[in-house]
Amino acid sequence: MNRISLGTPLTSDVVEKLRIGQQVSLNGIIYTGRDAAHKKLIELIEQRKELPFELKGQVIYYVGPSPARPGRVIGSAGPTTSGRMDRYAPKLYALGLKATIGKGRRAPEVIKAMQQYKGVYLAAVGGAAALIARSVKAAEVIAFPELGPEAVYRLIVENFPAIVVNDTLGGDLYDESIRVYSAYCRNAWQNRHC
């Protein structure tokens, strides 16, 4: 399968063409954020204060990178569990966020927000943190430095690999994979191959 190259920021037109299971490569600027940073972003929104970056068209990667070794831009940068950000994600999608990257399933309300506001969820491969870090060409803390590795970073990425897990049509790669595997096993059992 060919990998689709996506430049950031993303537009609704681009995001609406993506389908579950497609492999993508991100190029441009993405932002990082985990639970503590998301809580602070939502507080800023509720207080009607300026955010550290414009949400419209942006991508947030759920990661808390480790410190960079000498000569490196960033340390290990593997995805964290996305479910911890589910309570914040619908609001961010409503304000123009186009994609999030992490690992694991998303809550139904997040999937609904992606459909409504034309966003997607991408999975980065857990266990490939060092490989993913090679896609990061520059990293700068832009907000909440007191959070250490959980601060918000601006990353410049080249060919950052990910897979579309949830699309704007409500598709869910995890559900689809279970359906396909179950059908295969039923067929194999009937043919005595399982």
Q: Phi first, then psi: what are they for 135, rounded to 5°?
A: -75, -15
**Calpha distance 21→171 (Å, rounded):** 10
Asked if the peptide bond before residue 161 counts as cis, ω within 30 degrees of 0, the response is no
Q: Are 162 and 60 in contact (CB under 8 A)?
A: no
The set of catalytic residues is 38
Q: Are 167 and 19 in contact (CB under 8 A)?
A: yes
Tokens at residue 107, please? Answer: 């809550």
First to last CA, the chain: 28
Q: Which residues pair with 162 in a beta bridge?
A: 24
